[in-house]
Amino acid sequence: MVPGTRLLILGKQGAGKGTQAVRLARHYAIPHISTGDMFRAAVRSGSEFGRKARKFMDAGELVPDDVVIGLVQERLRENDARYRGFILDGFPRTVLQAEALDDMLPDPGIELVLDLEVPTDIVLRRLASRRVCVECGTNYSLENPPTDPETCDVCGGKVVQREDDTVSAIRRRLELYEEQTAPLIAWYMKKDKLVTVDGVGHPDKVNERLIRAIDRRLRRGVEA
């Protein structure tokens, strides 16, 4: 892969963006930038910013565009993202955010957008069973719990259910996905940057599919 590659992963809530982005970040040695993780860290820190973000998140609403855009802009200015590239997870989520992202990046902007496709009935099941480490963000589920159900295998942090994994917040998040985020699929397709990858199956299999899709497309970019 070309150094400095800029990737983006799209998909419904529970499609496995976080799960896969962590693995891709390790595989390609690029930072994983998740706006959801950044907001959850702010909530944990107890800052004023975190308190404001929490109100939106717990209700399943989107944090206002200007707030998210400012946060991402600052993060992308850091050296690791500037020189090594990144994988963005959870941003952009609206066309306005996607336009702002284009303005933040040097040409050719985002190089490849991965759309992780999973049917709604499966994401609902995954979200109901998800458990996360509050310290490092590692994902678990009722089918794949840590050795001690309340303690993270990776860092020893507390493993809990996310505050927004309630029935009403999940319904609202999926509604907003259809209204605000799904239009990005057509938007990136028009720019010939989109690759759709089947997100159903064992996470290792999904990971192999993603790596194959990325390597194929980015090699094409180099040869072109």
Distance CA 190, CA 193 (A): 8
For residue 8, give the nearest of 26, 41, 39, 30 by alpha carbon.
30
Active site residue 162: yes
For residue 69, give the nearest of 35, 113, 42 by alpha carbon.
35
Sequence-distant (6+) residues with CB within 8 A of 28 are 1, 5, 7, 85, 87, 214
How far apart are CB 33 and Zn ion at their closest, in Å?
Answer: 19
Q: Which of 54, 75, 130, 131 is catalytic?
A: 130
Instruction: Report the side by side order of strands in the sheet with 112-117.
Output: 32-34, 86-89, 6-10, 112-117, 194-198
Complex with Mg ion: residue 135 or 218, whichever CB lies closer? 135
How far apart are CB 151 and Zn ion at their closest, in Å?
Answer: 9
Tokens 């028009």, located at residue = 190
Q: Which of 194, 206, 210, 214 binds ligand AP5 (CB under 6 A)?
A: 206
Distance CA 133, CA 155 (A): 9
Q: Which of 6, 12, 17, 40 is catalytic?
A: 17
Only segment of 25-33, 61-69, 100-108, 182-190 that touches ligand AP5 (CB under 6 A): 61-69
- Burial string for 15-40 (b: 16+ CB within 10 Å, else e) reads bbbbbbbbbbbeebebebbbbbbbbb
Q: Which of 1, 6, 8, 16 binds ligand AP5 (CB under 6 A)?
A: 16
Q: Which of 28, 33, 81, 90 binds ligand AP5 (CB under 6 A)?
A: 90
Distance CA 15, CA 165 (A): 14
Distance CA 16, CA 13 (A): 8
Does 56 contact ligand AP5 by CB under 6 A?
A: yes
Q: Which of 6, 23, 32, 126 binds ligand AP5 (CB under 6 A)?
A: 126
Does 152 contact Zn ion by CB under 5 A?
A: yes
Does 86 contact ligand AP5 by CB under 6 A?
A: no
Does 157 contact ligand AP5 by CB under 6 A?
A: no
* Residues of the shown chain interacting with ligand AP5 in the complex, contacts defined by CB under 6 A: 11, 13-19, 35-36, 39, 56-57, 60-63, 68, 90-91, 93, 97, 126, 130, 139, 141, 164, 173, 201, 203, 206
Catalytically active residues, by annotation: 17, 93, 130, 162, 173
